[in-house]
């Protein structure tokens, strides 16, 4: 019974999340041979202002580039 947590920045569309969980499920079925109904996927979204690389907040480095909501 795989349980997968995916951490992504907030702002991705529901359609992208649907494609993401479907793809992850398909890979786990193919690789592990498990049944799709046994797979649990948790999407943990975080704000870009709470993520930094090289001492610079992602929200400052990539202002508006990745956010589909315009935030």
- What residues are labeled active site? 2
Greatest Cα-to-Cα distance within the chain, rounded to the nearest angstrom: 42
**SS3 labels along 18-33:** HHHHHHHHHHHHHHHC
Q: How far is CA 49 from CA 1, 17, 22, 58, in A?
A: 34, 21, 28, 6
């Amino acid at each position: 019974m795989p349980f997968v947590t995916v951490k992504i920045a907030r702002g991705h569309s529901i359609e992208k999340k649907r494609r993401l969980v479907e793809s992850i499920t398909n890979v786990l079925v193919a690789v592990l041979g498990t049944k799709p109904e046994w797979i649990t996927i948790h999407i943990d979204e975080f704000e870009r202002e709470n993520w930094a690389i090289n001492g610079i907040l992602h929200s400052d480095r990539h202002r508006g580039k990745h956010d589909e909501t315009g935030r």
